[in-house]
Amino acid sequence: MVYKYIESLVKLAKEKDIEAQELLVEEFKPIIYGLTKKISASGYEREDLII
């Protein structure tokens, strides 16, 4: 990830740009999945914890 790219996506996402929000989720998905492995809740799919 390039810092300036992420920074520009965050700025756009704060302005309610849906595409920028989706791109941020995609960029950080590996990190998010890694965290959900550590904090998984019984009875829930990992994808359910992200949404």
CA distance 28 to 21: 11
Question: Which tokens hold the place of 40?
Answer: 């998984």
Domain boundaries, the chain: 3-50
Cβ(46)–Cβ(33) below 8 Å? yes
* pLDDT at residue 28 in the model: 93
| pLDDT tens digits for range 1-51 | 589 999 999 999 999 999 999 999 999 988 988 887 777 666 677 677 665
* pLDDT at residue 26 in the model: 92
